[in-house]
Structure 1
Amino acid sequence: MSTGLIIAIVIVAAVVVVAAVLAAARSRSSSPHGLKRRFGPEYERVVAQHGGDTKAAEQELTERVQRHGDLHERPLESAERERYAARWTTAQEHFVDSPQQSVTEIDRLLAEVAAARGFPAGAEYEDQVAALSVHHADHVDGYRRLHRVAQEPMGGASQSRAGTEEMRTAMIEARSLFDDLITPSAGGAGRHRAGVGADTGGHLPWSADRSRPKES
C-alpha cells in the first residue's frame, strides 16, 4: 500500500471521528437534561412562557442551539474593555438626575458590547438575545428587563419613585451580563464568571433616591 493511500485513509478516518464527536456533542446539548444544564434559569423561563409545555420549550431552545451554538465570541482588547467600563460608569453617575436617559444609554451599551463580541447586532434585538441566551444563559434575563424598561419611557414630572426603583433594579441585574461580556475568561465560557464589579456585592455604588447619600 502506497504512502499516499495510507495518508488519505488516515485523513478520512480523522474526519469521520471528528464528525461523530460533534454529532454526539450536539445530541447531548439537545437532550432535555442537556438543555436544562446549559440554559439553567432560562430553561424554566421558556417553559413558563410556553405555559408549562416542556416539549415546545425544548424545541425552541434546541433551535437556538442549532442557530447560535457554534458562535465564537471575539475577545475584547484591553482598551475596548476600559472604554466600555468607562461608559457604564458615566451612565451610572447620571442615573440620579436622569434615570430614564441612564437606562436607555446602558441598554444601548449592552447591545453594542454584545455586537463587539460577535453576537447579532443590537438592531436585531430578539436574535441577539436568543444568541446571548445560548452562551450567557445565567445573565441574559437582566438584559431583557433593562431593555423592556428602556423601551417604556415614564415621563419626567410624572415619574414615580416605584418606576425609578424598577429602573435601578434593572440596571443592577443587567450589570451581571455586562461584566460577563467584558471580563476576560481563561476558559472562554461566559457562564458563572465573577464580574468586574463583583466587589460591590451585587449593588451599584449609588442610590436612586436623592434623600439617601451615595454609597462609598
Structure 2
Amino acid sequence: MSTGVLIAVIVIVAAVVLVAAALTLRARGAGGGRSLKRRFGPEYDRAVARHDGDVKAAERDLARRVEKHGGLREQPLEPARREEYEARWTALQEHFVDAPREAVAEADRLLAEVAGARGYPDGGQYEEQLEALSVHHAGRVEGYRHMHRVARAPLAADGEGPGTEELREALVEARELFTELIAPAPQDSGRHRADRAEKDGREQVAAPRSTHRTHQPWGLTRGHAKGS
C-alpha cells in the first residue's frame, strides 16, 4: 500500500471517528435535555425564558443545580413541630382577613423557616434556598417565588402595593409547597396518624363536644378577603 493511500485511509477513519463522536455527544445532550425537562417541568420553561430562549444555557443552569443540590436529603420533622407549623399557617390565614400584607409577609418567613428545618439552605440565603427547592419541588417552587416577590414589593408613592387579590393568590400558591414540606415521610405516616388519633381522643375526653361549629374551613376566597 502506497504512502498516499495509507494517508487517505487514516484521514477517512479519523473523519468517521469524529462524526461518530459528534453524534454520540449530540444524542447524550438531547437525552439530558429531555431528562431535565421531565424533572423540572414548568421550571425548565422558566429557565429557558430567563436565558432569553437559549436552551443550552438554561440546561447548563439546571444541570448545575442538580449537581449542587441533587444529593440533598430532606430532614424529617417531628410530629409536634409539624403541628406547630400547621397551627402557625392556619393563624396567619385567619390574620389575612384583617391584614393581608402582613399575613403574606409572615407566610414568606414561615415557609423559609420550614424549608430550613427540612435541611435546605437557610432562609437568609433566599436564592440558594430557592435553587435547592427547585431541584426537589420543581412543581411547587414558583408559588414560593411569587409570594416572596409580593411580600417584599415596595409600596408606591401613594401608599399602594400589591392588591388583596394578588396577595391572596400568592398565599394560595405558596401553600402548596408548604403542604409538601410538612408532609410526613412515608415511613412516618403511620406513626403520625396514630399520634394524631391519640391526641384527638384525649381532647375529646377533656372537652365536651360543641353543639355548633365556630370555625369554618378557610379557602381565601374573594369573600373572605377584606377590601377585595
Instruction: Tell me the TM-score normalised to structure 2 length.
Output: 0.68
Query: Larger Rg: 1 or 2?
Result: 2
Task: Indicate if the aligned counterparts of 2:143 and 2:177 stay in contact, CA closer than 8 A.
Answer: yes
Q: Which moved more, 1:95-104 or 1:119-128?
A: 95-104
The residue that corresponds to 2:140 in the other structure is 139
Task: Indicate if the aligned counterparts of 1:100 and 1:153 stay in contact, CA closer than 8 A.
Answer: no
Q: How does 1:171-186 map to 2 (within 5 A)?
A: 171-186=171-186
Write the distance in 2 (CA, Å) between the matches of 1:73 and 1:168: 28
The residue that corresponds to 1:15 in the other structure is none
Matched, 1:208 2:225: yes
The residue that corresponds to 2:153 in the other structure is 152
The residue that corresponds to 1:167 in the other structure is 167
The residue that corresponds to 1:112 in the other structure is 113
Give deviations 1:93-112, integer Å, cap 9, x for gaps.
11121111101100000000
Write the distance in 1 (CA, Å) between the matches of 2:130 and 2:154: 21
How far is the alpha carbon of 1:210 from its aligned partner?
Answer: 4.9
Write the distance in 1 (CA, Å) between the matches of 2:220 and 2:104: 13
Task: Indicate if the aligned counterparts of 1:39 and 1:137 stay in contact, CA closer than 8 A.
Answer: yes
Identity fraction in percent: 56
Moved beyond 3 Å, runs of 4+:
157-160, 202-206
Write the distance in 1 (CA, Å) between the matches of 2:224 and 2:160: 16
How far is the alpha carbon of 1:187 from its aligned partner?
Answer: 8.1
Unaligned ranges ≥5, structure 2: 1-27, 189-216
The residue that corresponds to 2:74 in the other structure is 73
Equivalences, count: 170
SS in 2 for 1:123: coil
Matched, 1:128 2:124: no
Matched, 1:41 2:58: no
The residue that corresponds to 1:83 in the other structure is 84
How far is the alpha carbon of 1:163 from its aligned partner?
Answer: 1.2
SS in 1 for 2:121: coil
Task: Indicate if the aligned counterparts of 2:98 and 2:226 stay in contact, CA closer than 8 A.
Answer: no
Query: In structure 1, what residue type is equivalent to 2:171?
Result: M
Distance 1:45 1:80, change over 3 A: same
How far is the alpha carbon of 1:153 from its aligned partner?
Answer: 4.1
Give deviations 1:127-169, integer Å, cap 9, x for gaps.
00000000000000000000001111437x8447x61111110
Task: Indicate if the aligned counterparts of 1:154 and 1:163 stay in contact, CA closer than 8 A.
Answer: no
SS in 2 for 1:119: coil
How far is the alpha carbon of 1:209 from its aligned partner?
Answer: 3.5
Write the distance in 1 (CA, Å) between the matches of 2:71 and 2:62: 14
How large is the Cα RMSD of the aligned pairs? 2.5
SS in 2 for 1:31: helix
The residue that corresponds to 2:97 in the other structure is 96
Write the distance in 2 (CA, Å) between the matches of 1:132 and 1:48: 19
